[in-house]
Structure 1
Amino acid sequence: MKILTSYAPLVWLIISLTSASGFDAGVSKEDFLALKTLVVLQNDIIRKNEKELALQRKVIEELQNERQILGQLATEVRNAAKHMSYLDHLCNNTMVSNGHLIEKRIPISETIAFHVCFDHNVEHLGTSHELAFNIVITDTHSAYEKHSGTYIAPISGIYVFSWVTPIYNGDIPFQLIVNGEVKGKTDPYGSGGITTTGVAVISLNEHDVVMIRTNPTFQPLGRIESGIYKNACFSGWKI
């Protein structure tokens, strides 16, 4: 019979009472039987708790497996969104000539710029959360994909990027990402409303992918504010 350590004194008492001296210790047979019954009841409770603990461990393991699966699905969705972004870029920047798919050539002197914003507050942010600004105000070459929040450089050159991120009651570090590499950082934090603006001048090759995301090593606190009185925006232009 399995008995927890915390009940050892009680077990020792019963063993003592059942020694060669019988019931000479001054404890009646009725009291002894009552103590024995108590130990049996306690062991029943222990076994029940052990079964419940095993069940809880199984539930926790299943939840952890589900969380891992959801994480894998989220990664697949993000990759699919990036793929769709590239396909959209090809549709907007290629044409068929003599049965061949060729890229549309953009005059070097042509203005290239984009400006996108959120029209709502953004809450429940996670690490490496890519900001998919949903309102496109300017996009001269249809190079911004609002479903993934990525901008694909239409031609090579020097670009200026700016990101404005008002937050409320929190700490949300942001990163400017180019082809998976960090090229700029901001970290608005504090109580109440606070806004930071990041600016970066970067040399891009044609088809380079640019985005804004939260820091992968810090869980964001608070929310991004964007609405009637202020906007969270992402902008860029070729100089």
Structure 2
Amino acid sequence: MTLAFDEQTNQRLAETIDLAQHIDHALLHPAAGPQHVEQWCAEADRFGFAGVCVMPTHVRQAVSLLHNRRPVVICPIGFPSGATTTRTKCTEAEEALEQGARELEVMLNLGWLKAGAADAVHREIAEIVEMASASALVKVILEWSLLESAERQLAVEIAMDAGAAFLKTHTGWNGGVSIEDVRLLKDWTRGRIGIKAAGGIHTTDQAIALIEAGATRLGTSRGVDFLRRDRSASWAAETEEPPTA
């Protein structure tokens, strides 16, 4: 159950946990253009977010705007299905790294995992981790809502063993994260890897509760709304909600 707090309490809690430094400011809407990348990067810089997550086509612009410093530029790989070939994912990762991405979010190949091809899943992740090791960290997207319990445990162990730095719960395209999801991941991983909660994080209440449950990053397009009252300036709030990072 998510606890609800009044606005004053929310503000105090947000300040206490420094909410901004946990947020990956997500811009994964298919209609996003250069003007939105510019806005998202300016917001991330102003509010001190951990990173900006943009599609591969926007990485170069985002790196240029943020001068290759914090907030870092994050690029999804094999997004959102994870069903592209390893060669395709590696090419995508290589290009993102060459353009200055500091974090890669690799979508797990769910079909392989469900078919029992755990070794192939491991090799793919490990190859990208090795490729990125000199300049970037790798997060593995689990798409938690599409996995059975045993598959979840297997995916977590594969990602950790392959050298991933973070587990990310969802793409935002197939359900959203719950407090229970994060608590379970924290219990399974016991601090051995970062946890990024993503998908359907719309309120400050949710954001705070997810961090208190164990999330070390939050993927959301609503981070600005969590930190100020004026929602009208957020493009995401004025259009159909973009899938979160």
| TM-score normalised according to structure 2 size | 0.23
User: Comparing both structures, which one devotes a greater share of its residues to helix?
Assistant: 2
Indicate the structure (1 or 2) with the bigger Cα radius of gyration: 1
Please give the TM-score of this superposition, normalised by the length of structure 1: 0.23
